Structure 1
Amino acid sequence: MGTQKPQPRLNIDLVSDALLGRWKQERLEGREIAADPRFHTPQGTPMSEHRERVLEQLSGLVEKGAIQRAFPVALGGGHNHGGNIAAFHELVYADPSLQIKSGVQWGLFGGAILHLGTSYHHEKYLPDVISLKMPGAFAMTEIGHGSDVDKVATTATYDEATEEFVIHTPHRSAWKEFLGNAALHGQAAVVFAQLITKNVNHGVHAFYVPIRTPEGELLPGVGSEDDGVKGGLNGIDNGRLHFTNVRIPRTNLLNRYGDVAADGTYSSPIESPGRRFFTMIGTLVQGRVSLDGSAVNAMKAALAIAIPYGFERRQFSGPNGEETKLMDYGLHRRRLIPRLAETYAMAFASEQLLTLFDTVFSGKGDTPETREDLETLAAALKPLSTWAALDTLQEAREATGGAGFIAKNRLTGWRADLDIYATFEGDNNILLQLVGKRLLKDYAAQFKNADAATLAKAAVGQVGERMRRVGLRQVGQSIADLGQVSRSVDSLKDDQHALLADRVETMVAEVAQALNGVRKESPSVQNAEFNRQQVRLIEAARAHAELLQWEAFTEALDEITDPDTKQVLTWVRDLFGLGLIEKHLDWYLITGRLSGKRAQAVTAYVDRLIDRVTDHSLDLIAAFGLDNSLLRADIASGIEAERQEETRAYIAEQKAAGTWPVHEKELRKRNGK
């Protein structure tokens, strides 16, 4: 008899280090704070109490020196942009309300002053922002314009006679909305408004505007409304602001990218109004980077609760008479294990995004090209991770049954709090449209100097290739496979990247050619065609983001040297990649990329990978490094295993004593009935 090949073992510490990444120390410091009861809020705390508690917790963050990392060294900071966001990600384990309110204060309000202001503003305002002496709001979004920042209606009109800007809200749809710190705590706001001087509108700029006294009284001309109870994040005092001819000094313009002299003359280091606007808005990309990593951490938490619970909880009798563990059911594995693979992929992609963010904001690689890459990558990853977090939290809730619905097990709370992430810092679909437009731009650049004949040849070539794929390619696959699933699987494993990339390239090319076909038509015709292609463009952008996640996982795999760990993580990566192909099998079949035989092989191998990864899932969860001080969920504490053991012991004791009653079904079986 041959000996069975030993199963590979995951090196948990090695994988944990890979997940913690470059800013391991800052992440661990963030977890230490998240585990501190001072930064927790009891479930069911009334909104008014929750708000005041979170404000007090912000002071605790200041005391612990937890928020200064990104600010200039001259102001007591560390000029550590990547480490700052890495530590911020971990606060989702404490209380998302605390996390987001701290992000409003130091990431948005303070970050706008830091990145859009100059040394004058840094020295004048940032010390009080850092110390929390000056709580602030970030007043960009308006009721009537949402993500369309370029069209905000609030105005900042320069008065040469007094050397002041007049901040004014012309109508109700121009009220600033959804602003953290606006309802109660904010004493100042960075207000985005159309800068008008000498009767010329120079576009959206940012202004430092006082709104309340230290005692909480609104200043003259400033109005506020409380948004009240929300679907989540009720520890944050979100509200509306509006302004009636509020005057501020000329120097309150955050003038890094645009300035107004005393006589009203406008100047800017960036001549193009469009590029100036996108440069200013681009400095605020850290919000999307922050949400991406926070969403991934929430996914880790959900699975760190649901998967171990699935190994402990038993339901319905099994073949040996004992109740069956939930994780022994194929459907239960299908619900959770692919999401574990997705979480790993998104974690490694998030680390790459954070690295690029730090490269740009530290100044080590701050070029127009890298800024554009950063904006595009953030716009690609944030939608997928925030959607996936909501999906994973909901699936984990359902997979843990009624226990998952109990508030103290935290899944419903995280689900409610993270709901806003899908539209926070940019609606996810609009962000993906931004990515799609970048893909179209890059596609067009390939043919920038091409003549008509070259373009025609490219179009014909693509049609011909599509026909070959639909016809001969499928036949070739079927012949090569010769009916053997193993051969289909081997080919699929090797072709993952090619299949994922091919889908992106083809979808982008098809949209580009459709739009190119109307480029000489009227603007209304072009706009109508874009609307017809919009859904396909966004789907192409999503496919692009999925490819980036697969590539990030693969690059992380290349850094793993331990053979056993590499094998297990390769299975996880393959489950993610082939899971994407399975998800989009209709596309691969319709376009002829896969034969029917290989399409069947995809699902067969995904099922096999799910079983393999399930065997290592507890180790993969352990590598997240989330103990119960961070999860704080009863069902993640091992209590279910204790209950099951108590049940088994009780039954065994009763049977040994002869006091366990015979079930009617067993009695009938004995009597042959």
Structure 2
Amino acid sequence: MVDAAVRSESTSNAAEHTEAEPAIDVQRVNDLLMGTWAHTRRTSREMIKDSAFWRDDSLGMDAHRERVLSQLHLLVQNSAVHRAFPRAFGGDEDNGANIAGFEELVVADPSLQIKAGVQWGLFGSAVLQLGTAEHHEKWLPGIMNLDIPGAFAMTEIGHGSDVASLGTTATYDPETDEFVIHTPFRGATKEYLGNAALHGIAATVFAQLITNGVSHGVHCFYVPLRDENGVDLPGINREDDGHKGGLNGIDNGRLSFDQVRVPRTNLLNKYGDVDASGTYSSPIDSPGRRFFTMLGTLVQGRVSLDGAASWASALGLKIAITYATQRRQFDGADGHETVLLDYGKHQRRLLPRLATTYAQLFAHDEFLQKFDAVFSGRSDTPDDREDLETLAAALKPLSTWHALDTLQEAREACGGSGFMFENRLVGLRADLDIYVTFEGDNNILLQLVGKRLLTDFAAQFKDKDAASLARYAVEQTAGRVFHGAGLRQFGQAVADLGSTARSVEYGLREEQQHEMLADRVQQMVADIAGRLRPAGRDKVLGEKLFNENQAELIEAARAHGELLQWEAFTDAVNDVDDEDTKQVLTWLRDLFGLQLIEKHLAWYLINGRLSAQRAASVSRYIDRLCRRLRPHALDLVDAFGWEPEHIRAPIASGAEQQRQDEARAYYAELEASGRAPISEKDLKAKNKR
């Protein structure tokens, strides 16, 4: 962290900074950000202070892959990967702690985080969640101690996020009591699989289960890839993906299968089984419900990506804001060069993104609590699982998109220094790029959320009589004119409050922010539902209308995710007792809420939620909030809780402050000595006099 002298220097010129400024309790804010499993996060952070876990930027792809594999063995030695597994096998059965500790690995090397996720969060979790006791006893010990490195073979070249349409088949042969795993065409090749190119000796393969001439949909099979001598088994075709845009410490590759036979008992049969005669059975009668239940057991990938992306954004902002409080550029009115973060534009670039990162971290902890409640069994109903799936599909897109945006802006805000690989930002940006399509393309995930919102909206009218529906239709017609007239009070003239800026401050505080954000979601969903209603049971028309409204539905889902983040931020603020800390976090929450309103100002204007005058003042008030938060910027990034071993960026080490101090001392001494040259500009001004 920046020492006291540097901190004093870096905030001395901050706008609106006085001795009366509140000061946050950094440790209390750190506790809030670390969340429910703070102890596990700190344990993980202490472990990765060891340089053996760090990314070595000098390594080529092949050496990087081998280093990351060796790091996985270090994780095993440190008992860092067993938290979610059953106690009978040496685990802790602590799902929330498992994800929390795993997310922290992104700071060491994102390749390490993702390869660990492939091994234990996907491959191992598939065996754990989709298999039964026989499978657990046979394979979990080797998966846990890395004797069985494995791949998670779901994604196909030709189907991507459309898992239900996978082309790989698993056809039961009753004569040999075996399933025949087969890739019938090139588009059914399993693609982008971690551990597939080199290290994997087995895979959990998702394929269409066919028995007695009937396809029962996608199921998961444990498929050995190599024999005891390390040679690929007959029918296993393996290809190396080679260099990628990032995460080159992971041996991603392709797998295809040419009539590969596995025992019938290699079907992970928790949700669907085939007996020796070929008869299929399942505890879930509905094929659709069965499919989504099986996929739902693997939701932890999206959970962990949401958290890891949020912490990666935090690291980028820690580096960029620390640098911005030390680096000076261009002479100010006082004759000294100005600290970057004292420029209004620089504040606008970084502080709203800091507010969003806080919101995402608070939302992630609530998300993780929900995940833990479901997977521990404390609150595991079909409705709970559906809610968890919707949360995952709403939050993961927002955090991963935000990470790319934040890391890019942080890089640019650090100029040429940000482009140097040693300062972490370009490497993080490259590695995080794939997160937006990992575990489902972000737009597809938001479409899932949108469909859920439409379903919940329709449920309001289930079993309603004709009179109720007629009243709703009349209200909606009025709504098209006034569009929520109850909120127009926040768009009226503001002369009574004396100034537009003050009217925004008093008129868009917590309650009003929530009302505006929530109303936008509700109105968008209602409007879309109204446009879809004419389709009725006409599937052709329904598809046409849905496609026409798809973009807006995804935008409504995104607005829903932003609302969830705002609410989580507000919950965190309300959990703070210290008044100074609460005040600063309230400003930061307001910055998050108002920049969401600013981002969607066109919608609020078109739909009558804000007057043009009030809309114009929103941006000016955001600028005021940035100036208010400027003196607290270092405290707010220090609250992320990282030590130098985690940051490892020279421009955030204090070196820039030392350079600036040296330069200022040099010029001060030169001026005092009387040997300082006179500038041509000053000389000409003097001669004119």
TM range (shorter): over 0.9
Q: Distance in 2 between matches of 1:6 and 1:38?
A: 45
Q: Distance in 1 between matches of 2:525 and 2:653?
A: 48
Indicate which of 392, 396, 413 corresponds to 1:378: 392
How far apart are 1:317 and its partner, in Å? 1.0
Matched, 1:588 2:591: no
Indicate conservation of the 8 Å contact 2:153/2:193, yes or no: yes
Q: Distance in 1 between matches of 2:580 and 2:104?
A: 29
Per-residue Cα deviation, 1:329-377 (whole angstroms, up to 9, x for no partner):
1100000000010010000000011000000011111111110000000
Matched, 1:572 2:588: yes
State the SS of the aligned residue for 1:515.
Answer: helix
Q: 1:577 to 1:246 in 2, by over 3 A?
A: same
Indicate which of 198, 214, 218 corresponds to 1:184: 198
Partner of 1:500: 517
Pairing 1:188-587 to 2, within 5 Å after superposition: 188-469=202-483, 474=488, 477-479=491-493, 481-482=495-496, 484-485=499-500, 486-493=502-509, 494-520=511-537, 522-587=538-603
Indicate conservation of the 8 Å contact 2:491/2:609, yes or no: no
Q: Distance in 2 between matches of 1:139 and 1:512?
A: 37
Per-residue Cα deviation, 1:123-173 (whole angstroms, up to 9, x for no partner):
100000000000000000000000000000100000111110000000100
Q: Distance in 1 between matches of 2:308 and 2:418?
A: 21
Per-residue Cα deviation, 1:8-34 (whole angstroms, up to 9, x for no partner):
110011111111111011101111222
Letter in 2 for 1:641: Q
Indicate conservation of the 8 Å contact 2:206/2:221, yes or no: yes
Letter in 1 for 2:459: A
Matched, 1:44 2:58: yes
> Unaligned 5+ residue runs, structure 1?
none
Name the stretch that deviates more: 16-25 or 172-181.
16-25
Q: Distance in 2 between matches of 1:174 and 1:481?
A: 66
Indicate conservation of the 8 Å contact 1:33/1:91, yes or no: no
The alignment yields a C-alpha RMSD, in angstroms, of: 1.4
Letter in 2 for 1:223: N
Indicate which of 68, 91, 100 corresponds to 1:54: 68
What is the aligned-residue identity percentage? 61
Q: 1:481 to 1:245 in 2, by over 3 A?
A: farther
Partner of 2:634: 618
Query: TM-score when scaled to structure 1?
Result: 0.98
Query: TM-score when scaled to structure 2?
Result: 0.95
Per-residue Cα deviation, 1:373-399 (whole angstroms, up to 9, x for no partner):
000001000000000000000000000
Q: Distance in 1 between matches of 2:446 and 2:364?
A: 16
How far apart are 1:487 and its partner, in Å? 2.7
Letter in 1 for 2:201: Q
Partner of 1:145: 159
State the SS of the aligned residue for 1:312.
Answer: coil
Q: Distance in 2 between matches of 1:52 and 1:477?
A: 60
How far apart are 1:73 and its partner, in Å? 0.2
Q: 1:671 to 1:213 in 2, by over 3 A?
A: farther
Q: Distance in 1 between matches of 2:684 and 2:24?
A: 49
Letter in 2 for 1:484: S
Q: Distance in 2 between matches of 1:216 and 1:638?
A: 49
Name the stretch that deviates more: 472-481 or 274-283.
472-481
Q: 1:529 to 1:469 in 2, by over 3 A?
A: closer
Per-residue Cα deviation, 1:504-542 (whole angstroms, up to 9, x for no partner):
00000011111112214x322110110000000000000
Indicate conservation of the 8 Å contact 1:184/1:216, yes or no: no
Q: Distance in 1 between matches of 2:76 and 2:362?
A: 30
Letter in 1 for 2:521: V
Indicate conservation of the 8 Å contact 1:12/1:620, yes or no: yes
Q: Distance in 1 between matches of 2:384 and 2:82?
A: 25
Q: Distance in 2 between matches of 1:628 and 1:28?
A: 14
State the SS of the aligned residue for 2:204.
Answer: strand
State the SS of the aligned residue for 2:677.
Answer: coil
How far apart are 1:601 and its partner, in Å? 2.4
Name the stretch that deviates more: 192-201 or 37-46.
37-46
Q: Distance in 2 between matches of 1:476 and 1:404?
A: 42
Letter in 2 for 1:605: Y
Letter in 2 for 1:588: Y
Q: 1:15 to 1:193 in 2, by over 3 A?
A: same
Indicate conservation of the 8 Å contact 1:136/1:189, yes or no: yes
Aligned length: 669
> Unaligned 5+ residue runs, structure 2?
1-17
How far apart are 1:214 and its partner, in Å? 4.6
Partner of 1:124: 138
How far apart are 1:453 and its partner, in Å? 3.5
Q: Distance in 1 between matches of 2:442 and 2:184?
A: 29
Name the stretch that deviates more: 599-608 or 409-418.
599-608
Per-residue Cα deviation, 1:49-74 (whole angstroms, up to 9, x for no partner):
00011101100100111100000000
